[in-house]
């Protein structure tokens, strides 16, 4: 049988959102075809680059044990705390400056726990997350991130695809969708290239889960602004905004923060796109332990404004607006042992020096005198050495008297040897998307569903504005993916096969 015939639901993409959509539609009895522009080696989009943290609502360790295989040792020795729907909602509202769409966010939050349980039932394995610190001798979690997919995003793709294959879902690689087929207002399939040949694939419903426009330099410049074309892409090269263009051309409504994106500090010499060996390890998120300086040798952001899981996604944008689009992160020997593992990889742009003067001379592209003025002023403004420094909480150890404060974890940087790491902007994904209902139906300008079209993952607009709390992309992608798959299958039951 031709793989493009007798399809109920086409799912465009093979990342987290698409895979959840495909599995959910299949669960409802639909015949599902997944399409990916990528080669099989590069399957799974940004999901395959993700660290695997998933933000989730839970009441206690009993809830978590429905998601993670916890050993008795874990239960006894780890303090998991709780993370309520109100906590999740507050975090989303605060970091998005109260702009996120309340109903869309509420659906993601209220479905987060049951969706992770569902993922586990589909064969995804979870482990305790890394956002934890020793408090009174006990490993203590905070901030809604106790769950991490075992072996990260690449493992998630592997586990979801193996379940998809077992469930009889066909996956076609090297098959970019280029357009939606329409019969009057109803979406009836996609036009695609399959191994270089144009094909039209008809189906009762289509789910678009094919990412934002982060890998499209032209769209980045058009929507995000000057110099975004020069940003490094942290993940897949295939998320070129085609899905968004297809949906908009079919009459879907643009929604969300189109001029903003998730972007973080990324090694200065990382390749143009994500690298399948190093993956996320180019990221450099330990800046709260030190300071960041630009080409003038000046600090330009508050490294201790909040926990890094609430600042990293907007600090890439701050780096982009610095002269030359780079910065150096500076640490002394008190900080070095606490740096994340991503600082210890071979592919890193790093210098070390015994003294600050020697370091100043080694910071390529930086005004040495400016740097020495900055660090001298910073050290003079930092609290005394005996102040109670604690990275497990916002310790309130702030600088005094600086025009640009460091609000927490301010410690003098004066114990050599010193280490410095060069970073630039790495874009993760774009925030602008399509307006959907809480059933993941794509809506038109009048707020009505576009019959037969469903949207999930990075393509959903209205969730993220200005910033992003860590671990939310995979959770929202899984929730809206599963919702889109279910809605698409339900819609497919109600309509005939297009001819």
The residue ranges that bind ligand FAD (CB under 6 A) are 12-18, 35-38, 44-47, 49-54, 153, 176-177, 209-211, 234-236, 238-239, 242-243, 280, 428-429, 457-458, 471-474, 477
Longest dimension (CA), the chain: 76
Q: How far is the CB of 85 from ligand FAD (least distance, A)?
A: 18
Q: How far is the CB of 306 from ligand FAD (least distance, A)?
A: 18
Output 146 or 297, the one with its CB closest to ligand FAD. 146
Residue 378 C-beta-side C-alpha neighbours within 13 Å: 30
Q: How far is the CB of 415 from ligand FAD (least distance, A)?
A: 32
Q: Token pair 């742009």 is at which residue?
A: 349
How far is 461 from 467, CA to CA, in rounded Å? Answer: 13
3-state secondary structure of 86: helix
Q: How far is the CB of 99 from ligand FAD (least distance, A)?
A: 19
Output 54 or 489, the one with its CB closest to ligand FAD. 54
Output 195 or 494, the one with its CB closest to ligand FAD. 195
Type and span of the H or E element at 95: helix 85-95
How far is 156 from 162, CA to CA, in rounded Å? Answer: 10
Output 207 or 356, the one with its CB closest to ligand FAD. 207
Q: Token pair 């690449």 is at which residue?
A: 154
What DSSP line would sit under 96-158, residue for residue?
A: TTT-S-HHHHHHHHHHHHHHHHHHHHTT--EEE-S-EEEETTEEEE-TT--EEETTHHHHHHH
Q: How far is the CB of 102 from ligand FAD (least distance, A)?
A: 21
Nearest CA among 483, 497, 489, 494 for reference residue 106 = 483
Output 18 or 33, the one with its CB closest to ligand FAD. 18
What DSSP line would sit under 151-190, residue for residue?
A: THHHHHHHHHHHHHHHTT-EEE-S--EEEEEEETTEEEEE
Q: Token digits for 270?
A: 């990382």
Output 211 or 308, the one with its CB closest to ligand FAD. 211
Output 35 or 330, the one with its CB closest to ligand FAD. 35
Q: How far is the CB of 418 from ligand FAD (least distance, A)?
A: 27
Q: Token digits for 167?
A: 């469930």
How far is 279 from 276, CA to CA, in rounded Å? Answer: 5
Nearest CA among 87, 94, 95, 54 for reference residue 313 = 95
Output 300 or 312, the one with its CB closest to ligand FAD. 312
Q: How far is the CB of 497 from ligand FAD (least distance, A)?
A: 22
Q: How far is the CB of 249 from ligand FAD (least distance, A)?
A: 13
User: Rounded to the nearest 5°, which phi and psi values hold at 266?
Assistant: -140, 140
Output 330 or 484, the one with its CB closest to ligand FAD. 484
């Amino acid at each position: 049988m031709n793989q493009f015939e007798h399809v109920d639901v086409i799912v465009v993409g093979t990342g987290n959102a698409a895979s959840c959509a495909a599995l959910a539609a299949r669960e409802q009895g639909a015949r599902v075809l997944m399409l990916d522009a990528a080669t099989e080696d590069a399957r799974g989009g940004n999901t395959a680059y993700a660290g695997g943290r998933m933000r989730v609502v839970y009441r206690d360790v009993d809830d978590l044990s429905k998601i993670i295989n916890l050993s008795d040792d874990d239960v006894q020795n780890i303090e998991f705390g709780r993370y309520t729907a109100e906590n999740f909602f507050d975090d989303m509202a605060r970091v998005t400056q109260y702009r996120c769409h309340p109903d869309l966010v509420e659906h993601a939050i209220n479905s987060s726990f049951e969706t992770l349980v569902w993922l586990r039932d589909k064969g995804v394995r979870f482990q305790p997350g890394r956002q934890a610190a020793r408090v009174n001798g006990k490993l203590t979690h905070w901030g809604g991130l106790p769950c991490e997919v075992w072996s990260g995003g690449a493992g998630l793709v592997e586990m979801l695809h193996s379940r998809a294959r077992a469930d009889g879902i066909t996956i076609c690689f090297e098959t970019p969708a280029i357009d939606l087929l329409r019969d009057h207002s109803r979406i009836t399939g996609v036009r695609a290239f399959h191994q270089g040949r144009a094909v039209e694939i008809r189906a009762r419903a289509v789910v678009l889960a094919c990412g934002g426009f982060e890998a499209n330099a032209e769209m980045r410049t058009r929507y995000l602004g000057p110099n975004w074309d020069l940003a490094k892409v942290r993940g897949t090269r295939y998320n070129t905004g085609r899905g968004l263009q297809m949906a908009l051309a079919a009459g879907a409504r643009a929604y969300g923060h189109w001029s903003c994106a998730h972007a973080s500090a990324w090694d200065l010499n990382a390749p143009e796109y994500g690298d399948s060996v190093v993956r996320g390890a180019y990221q450099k998120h330990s800046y709260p332990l030190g300071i960041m300086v630009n080409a003038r040798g000046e600090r330009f952001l508050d490294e201790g404004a909040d926990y890094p899981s609430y600042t990293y996604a907007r600090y890439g944008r701050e780096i982009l607006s610095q002269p030359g689009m780079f910065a150096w992160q500076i640490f002394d020997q008190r900080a070095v042992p606490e740096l994340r593992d991503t600082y210890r990889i071979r592919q890193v742009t790093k210098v070390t020096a015994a003294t600050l003067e020697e370091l100043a001379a080694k910071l390529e592209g930086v005004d040495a005198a400016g740097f020495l003025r900055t660090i001298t002023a910073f050290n003079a403004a930092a609290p005394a050495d005996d102040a109670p420094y604690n990275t497990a909480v916002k310790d309130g150890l702030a600088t005094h008297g600086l025009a640009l404060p460091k609000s927490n974890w301010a410690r003098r940087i004066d114990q050599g040897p010193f280490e410095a790491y060069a970073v630039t902007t790495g874009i993760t994904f774009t925030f602008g998307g399509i307006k959907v209902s809480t059933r993941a139906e794509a809506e038109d300008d009048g707020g009505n569903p576009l019959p037969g079209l469903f949207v999930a993952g990075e393509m959903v607009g209205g969730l993220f504005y200005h910033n992003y709390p860590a671990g939310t992309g995979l959770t929202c992608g899984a929730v809206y993916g599963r919702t889109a798959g279910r809605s698409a299958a339900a819609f497919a039951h109600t309509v005939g096969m297009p001819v």
